[in-house]
Amino acid sequence: LPTGLGWALVFTPSLGTVSRYFPARRALATGLVVSGASVSGLALGPLVPLLLDTYGWRGALLLLAATSFNLVAAGALLRPLPVPNESPGPPRDRPGLVGLLRHGPFLRYALAFVLVDAGYYVPFVHGAARAHEVGCDEHHAGLVMAAMAAVDGGGRVAAGWLATRPATPLLRHLFAWATGTGLVLLLLPLGTTFGGLLALALAYGFCAGAVVPLQFADVAEVVNAGQVVNAIGLMQMFESVGSLLGAPIAGWLRDTTGTFTISFLAAGAFLLAGSLLILTLPGFFSTSRGGGKEAPPIPSDPL
């Protein structure tokens, strides 16, 4: 519980700060920031067993905790920036969390990622079991999972870089990558050999990674810049429901049907349903993006 709370207190303000620092290249900056999670994940895979063998579980946890304390120094380097056209002083006129709960576009955006997350983590949780199901041994199953995790970081950076190129609304980039992720997930049951499963896992890891920076960068396209941190935190609270339920539902479907086919098809359907909700957001069908301009304020009755 304390670890999860600490992660939330670090992750949400960090992403909100990035959105404030780089309004014109928000997607690229976010992609570079969140790619660090993929790098650390790959590094910790072989490192943690080594620490456990050398120092025991208590020593390993102390070393990981000491590493995490570097976040204190990193956080001290962040400085708040004023929002354009925002008057100094207490934020009396901001709608706050209550206003976000009455903001129709934001609620649809949050619901979209409840659905997306219900399918998103299924291959990461059940991928190794699927590899065993099609006849892979431990080594080959590990290669599938490692490959999927490795290209995840590349997808995050690539999506951020591509989003800076054409003058296309960021929401369209997010829709394209989320839809592609859902379609690849629907195709995963076709991977019945090691080679086929590996190719699909690579495609899924890249597309899934690409969704991450755009998800957080697009929050500023839905709400005004002064509400980004609140909106990211509230969105993550909502989407945790999908994250918690998706993998158990997939496991239950596997136990019921005897195969992961329906599990992956259902997960892909969740992702595509979330993608369709993005089509309903204001600005999706506009001809160009705002170039980092301030989003309009949250109206009094936005539903």
Domain CATH code at residue 249: 1.20.1250.20
Count how many domains the chain has: 1
Give the span between the Cα atoms of 73 and 141, in whole angstroms: 38
Percent of the chain with pLDDT over 90: 44
Work out the average pLDDT over 2-31.
78
- What range does the domain containing 217 cover? 1-77+97-279
Instruction: Give 210 or 37, the one with higher predicted confidence.
Output: 210
* 8-22, 60-74, 228-242, 243-257: range with lowest mean pLDDT: 8-22
> Would residue 288 count as lying in a domain?
no
Tell me the pTM: 0.82
- 293 within some domain: no
Confidence bin at 28 (pLDDT 50/70/90): confident
On whether residue 302 sits in a domain, the answer given is no
Domain assignment of residue 303, yes or no: no
Per the domain annotation, does 287 fall within a domain? Answer: no
Range from 1-15, 66-80, 134-148, 285-299 that averages highest in pLDDT:
134-148
31/244: higher pLDDT: 244
Give tens-digit pLDDT for 169-183: 889 999 999 999 999
Q: Do the domain assignments include residue 218?
A: yes
Neighbour tally for 92: CB within 10 Å = 6
Q: What is the pLDDT of residue 296?
A: 41
| Interval 139-159 mean pLDDT | 90
The verdict on residue 284 lying in a domain is no
Residue 290 lies in a domain: no
Spatial distance between the Cα atoms of 276 and 270, rounded to a whole number of angstroms: 10
